[in-house]
Amino acid sequence: MNANHHESSGPTRTQQITLRGPAELADALPFMLGFHPTDSVVLAALHGEHGRFGGRVRLGIPRSPREWASTADHLAECLVEGGARSGSRPDGIVVFLCQDPAAGETGRSVMERLRPFAQRLRTACGALDIPVYEALCISDGLYFSYCCPDARCCPPDGTPLALSGTSVMAAAAAYAGVQVRGSLRDMEGRFKPSGGPREEEQRAALDATSASIVPRILEDAEGRERQDVRETTVRLAREVLRRFANPQNPQSQKTAPAGPTAPIAPAGRAVPAGAGRAVVWTAEGDAADDALVGTDEAAALIIGLQDRVTRDRAAEWMEGWEGKAALRLWRVLARRCVTPYQEHAAAPLTLAGWAAWSTGDEPTARVALGLALDADPEYVFAQLLHQACNEGLDPESLRSCLRNERDGRAASEQDTAASSRRVRMRTARPQGTRQTLRDPGRRTGGGERRPTAGVRPGGPATGKPGKGAPRHGGQRGSRSGR
């Protein structure tokens, strides 16, 4: 389930937008979610006297009507409990049912088919003492109201949706830099194998790599082989990651100018400030990204990331250019998880969700984490991230933990390297070396000791066995000489 209890807050300068009637509610839905929710049921919470938008939950519409009652109860409880945890129980709810017509259907027939589900959602919310102010069905470019009995504003045959980009909400979102990333189906498709002749080649590579790597991870009692696989996977991932940051490589993004950053709030809800330039992804761009990763490389990374420690190391690429490049890399690896390796996609999908959330792309994060749980419902990392993202927690707390892990490991590696250098230096100095260094300052026959050039007699080393050697830069006894 994609349950979003996040209420974003922008800077203090905000502008309120009031949504009036079903038409403006239907038009605002993609801007609330960040995408057009295909085949989805969405519940949005309203707070206060003026109906300020709050949390929302989204789930795919169950195919079997037998699941509608339990789904309705679960969605209503999820939304209300989420609001209670954040300290604000909803005062009302708006329901959206979004589904395209099947072959031979019309928008109105979809609306009628889903009417019992809409009614069950209304009664589930009512059982929790939360009224449903509006229930809309959006299908085939039309919207229908299950609540409004006035045929003048909500005719039985539906009302066309506003043209894209022409509504007040669309203008406000463009001004704030808020981006709608297309349909949910399109967003999910970017994380799934696209088919084609290369799938068989990728499957063969995964078979061969799995047969080679998995025994080294699972059957290594001493852990040396497992550690070697981890280091090899991280080195390869880092090497591939740099390809996505190299400006000479084909890029899979175009930029479009956005208006001045000013947070706009639909019906009192604060909209996060935009980033000045919106990123527009294309199918050609995804194909260019795919070309940056070889078949064998993808197989080695997919299998290697099944190890939890390796995956956590990869999660450290979460900020700046690394975070943006990592999202593209994990998306490529998710697309390479062909049959029968769909479950292996849970790792790259979770990493994609984390990279997206950490870099501020919450809609993509929720889609990726939802797909990760579809691939493996028991994947704990995806469960935790999904819950944290949906409850509006700040990703900085997890970023801080990962930074500490990375810094601690780097310090440990430096200490190990320094210790290894000291051991090598000591091994390179046999016991007789000290006598050899003293010889130039001695007379044969045991006579008077002659000071070596450049060494003062009477210094602290004078007269101490083994301390008369000349001290050069980086001398023995300093950190660099040990």
- Amino acid 304: pLDDT: 96
CA distance 167 to 389: 29
Backbone angles phi, psi at 39, to 5 degrees: 50, 50
- The pLDDT confidence band at residue 427, using thresholds 50, 70 and 90, is low
* pLDDT, tens digit, 9 for 90 and up, residues 313-365: 999 999 999 999 999 999 999 999 999 999 999 999 999 999 999 999 988 99
Query: Considering only CA atoms, which of 370, 302, 371 is closest in space to residue 341?
Result: 302
Query: Considering only CA atoms, which of 117, 111, 100, 136 is closest in space to residue 66?
Result: 117
CA distance 19 to 169: 8
- Amino acid 176: pLDDT: 63
Q: With beta carbons less than 8 A apart as the criterion, state whether 137 and 117 touch.
A: no
Torsion of CA 26, 93, 266, 190, to 10 degrees: -60
- The pLDDT confidence band at residue 414, using thresholds 50, 70 and 90, is confident
Torsion of CA 193, 64, 83, 31, to 10 degrees: 50
Q: Can the peptide bond before residue 22 be classed as cis, meaning omega within 30 degrees of 0? A: no
Strands (E), 100-214: 132-139, 142-145, 159-160
Tokens representing 101? 């017509």
Rounded mean pLDDT, 36-56: 87
- Amino acid 444: pLDDT: 43
Q: With beta carbons less than 8 A apart as the criterion, state whether 352 and 368 touch.
A: yes
Tally the residues of the chain. 482
Higher pLDDT, 38 or 265: 38
Q: Is pLDDT of 31 > 60?
A: yes
Rounded mean pLDDT, 379-405: 91
Q: Which residue has the tokens 């009628």?
A: 112
- The pLDDT confidence band at residue 165, using thresholds 50, 70 and 90, is low
* pLDDT, tens digit, 9 for 90 and up, residues 173-198: 666 666 777 889 999 999 999 888 89
Higher pLDDT, 142 or 439: 142
- Amino acid 284: pLDDT: 87
Maximum Cα–Cα distance across the chain: 122
- The pLDDT confidence band at residue 409, using thresholds 50, 70 and 90, is confident
Per-residue burial over 331-361, b if 16 or more Cβ lie within 10 Å, else e, is bbbbbbbbeebeebbbbbbbbbbbbbbbbeb
Beta bridge mates, 71: none
Q: Can the peptide bond before residue 340 be classed as cis, meaning omega within 30 degrees of 0? A: yes
- Amino acid 228: pLDDT: 94
> In the chain, what are the helix, strand and coil shares in percent, each to the nearest 5?
50, 15, 40
How far is the CA of 313 from the CAs of 307, 335, 422, in angstroms?
10, 21, 29
Strands (E), 179-276: 253-257, 264-266
Higher pLDDT, 251 or 285: 285
Q: Is pLDDT of 218 > 50?
A: yes
Q: With beta carbons less than 8 A apart as the criterion, state whether 331 and 283 touch.
A: no
Residue percentage of the chain with pLDDT more than 90: 50
Q: What is the pTM of this model?
A: 0.69
- Amino acid 26: pLDDT: 86
CA distance 393 to 362: 11
CA distance 174 to 71: 34
Put residue 87 in one of left, alpha, beta given phi > 0 → left and psi -120 to 50 → alpha: left
* pLDDT, tens digit, 9 for 90 and up, residues 449-473: 444 444 344 444 444 444 444 444 4
CA distance 93 to 129: 11
- Amino acid 440: pLDDT: 42
